[in-house]
Structure 1
Amino acid sequence: MTKHILLMEGPDAKGLIFHVTKVLYKNECNIIRQDEYVSPSGQFFMRTEFEGQNELNLSKVLSDLRERVPDERIKFRTNPKKKKDVVILCTKEHHCLSDLITRFHFNELEANVLAVVSNYDILEPYVSKFDIPFHKVSHEGLSREDHEKEVLKVIAQYQPEYLVLAKYMRILTPVFVEQFPNKIVNIHHSFLPAFIGANPYRQAHERGVKIIGATAHFVNNDLDDGPIIAQDVKNVSHRFTAKDMSREGKDVEKMVLTKALKLVFNDRVFIHDNRTIIL
């Protein structure tokens, strides 16, 4: 038996769950888990995890679903339940990168880390310990556009399903982002939408906040404004300097990024109107 995930979204209508379960039963599939949500605006979302015979024809499953649910506004897609192929981008900071690679090494991350790309070589010695290809693509002397072209050439070698920005301190251009729509996950070191942009811990310290946080989100063309996947916070006090906040915040960043990636890699995240629905 092989496991698959069926994702469905569109305007809510009577009988949608019945039609899906009927088709899966007809194709001799067994439903392992099913989650649904209807938004206040009437948008329906469903994630169904199921298993079928090794020779299961997924094209027929989708065809049968379309026959029973002819409304083209309702979208279906199936994914095999497997690890996702990813490339990690980083700069100088190690905490998020090292956490992800360690989890990958011990099979705690639902992903295959195919390579690490950085504009510095500072983290290469660490990455090499895990026999993961490391590519330095320096930005020195290059325009942002030309640097991204070189980065894209490296990424193209691996054909990843997702890019993970593990403290990649470069603003991506729209041309780069459009190559991976809703496939780039970033960790931002603040509780968005507060303290967008650079130096959020300094901003937080100057504002006298009592909590600091981190946000994992998909990347779009608006700085730090992509759909939010996961967030968390940590209490601080007036005794904390900006440096203290930065040090404490790194633990939150690691935890939030890992949580978000587990949700994404398990196909639990829908995107609708720049928001996420997580099932």
Structure 2
Amino acid sequence: MEKKTLLTHCKDAPGLIAKVTNICYKHQLNIIHNREFVDTTTNDFFMRTELEGYFNDQTFLADIEQALPKDTNYKLISSGRKRVVILVTKEAHCLGDILMKMFDGSLDVDIAAVIGNYDTLQSLTEKFGIPYHHVSHEGLNREEHEQKLLAEIEQYSPDYLVLAKYMRVLTPAFVENFHHRIINIHHSFLPAFIGAKPYQQAFDRGVKIIGATAHFVTNDLDEGPIIGQDVITVDHTYRAQDMAQAGHDVEKNVLSKALNKVIGDHVFVHGNKTVIL
């Protein structure tokens, strides 16, 4: 017996839920959990269905395709652990949080490797028995460095890349290799204070809340579909350095929660937004 998740997205119409659930019944599949959402502004229907049973994927999906509108996007995903490769620079808090949550089981993910453009976080990574690859960018242009990155990444065939405070901008060619499969944590409550030194920008503006944003990476810097956000309050006594330190806890929590949603197949990307079920 297997567990799988069916993700369905199409234009809304009467009877869509019944059509899907009737096909599940026809194939003797037990529905463990089902959630749906209709975006009334665009008339889009989204549904996430967790299933258990004995699957014949080909005939099941053929029935789904026949029953639903022709423009339906659907995907049947096995419930096994997702493989990720994490890219890092020097800051340890986001990587350390993911490693600890993997270790204690609160984040059910297979971390295949960690790759850094410095070797600063190698000892931390290897304490958890995970391979670390140091791919220096020194003396290389961006394209040359990314080719070396890809050579290391491809040997692991990851489902997703996680940028855990990886402080380099990726080229469009690199991003295209992992369309909507690169998750970044930005140390700001986007769309405010994009780009470099957001805490300094926040300090200069005198903000009273700071936050973090996890999003999919696109070719528009820090403007990809947002997966999760959170904020904390600050006041006039906080210097830029204090804001950055306080922001570390927000960053690591937002990133791990976003990763958990993505690897659990809860996230639909719709245009430049997400629907999370």
Q: TM-score scaled to structure 2, two decimals?
A: 0.98
**2:60 corresponds to 1:61:** yes
**2:228 corresponds to 1:230:** yes
Q: Helix, strand or coil: the match of 1:194? A: coil
* Offset, 1:83: 1.3
For 1:205 and 1:193, how far apart are their aligned partners in 2?
16
**2:53 corresponds to 1:52:** yes
Equivalent of 2:255 in 254, 257, 260: 257
For 2:76 and 2:276, how far apart are their aligned partners in 1?
17
* Offset, 1:113: 0.1
Residue 99 of structure 1 is matched in structure 2 by 97
- The one-letter code matched in structure 2 to 1:29 is L
**2:22 corresponds to 1:26:** no
Q: TM-score scaled to structure 1, two decimals?
A: 0.98
Q: 5+ residue gaps in structure 1?
A: none
* Offset, 1:72: 2.3
For 1:211 and 1:90, how far apart are their aligned partners in 2?
26
For 1:113 and 1:72, how far apart are their aligned partners in 2?
37
Q: Helix, strand or coil: the match of 1:62? A: helix
**2:37 corresponds to 1:37:** yes
For 1:23 and 1:105, how far apart are their aligned partners in 2?
39
Q: Helix, strand or coil: the match of 1:112? A: strand
**Number of equivalences:** 276
- The one-letter code matched in structure 1 to 2:270 is H
Question: Identity, % of aligned pairs?
Answer: 54
- The one-letter code matched in structure 2 to 1:91 is T
- The one-letter code matched in structure 1 to 2:27 is N
For 1:195 and 1:137, how far apart are their aligned partners in 2?
29
- The one-letter code matched in structure 1 to 2:239 is T
For 1:80 and 1:94, how far apart are their aligned partners in 2?
32
Give CA-to-partner distance per residue, 1:201-258, whole Å, 9 cap, x none.
0000000000000000000000000000000000000000000000000000011001
Q: 5+ residue gaps in structure 2?
A: none
* Offset, 1:110: 2.2
Residue 155 of structure 1 is matched in structure 2 by 153
Equivalent of 2:208 in 183, 207, 210: 210
Pairing of 1:147-186 with structure 2 (within 5 A): 147-186=145-184
Asked if 2 retains the 8 angstrom alpha-carbon contact of 1:82 and 1:110, the reply is: no
* Offset, 1:21: 0.5
For 1:68 and 1:141, how far apart are their aligned partners in 2?
56
Residue 138 of structure 1 is matched in structure 2 by 136
For 2:38 and 2:195, how far apart are their aligned partners in 1?
34
For 1:218 and 1:186, how far apart are their aligned partners in 2?
6
* Offset, 1:67: 1.8
Q: Helix, strand or coil: the match of 1:86? A: strand
**2:190 corresponds to 1:195:** no
Pairing of 1:6-25 with structure 2 (within 5 A): 6-25=6-25
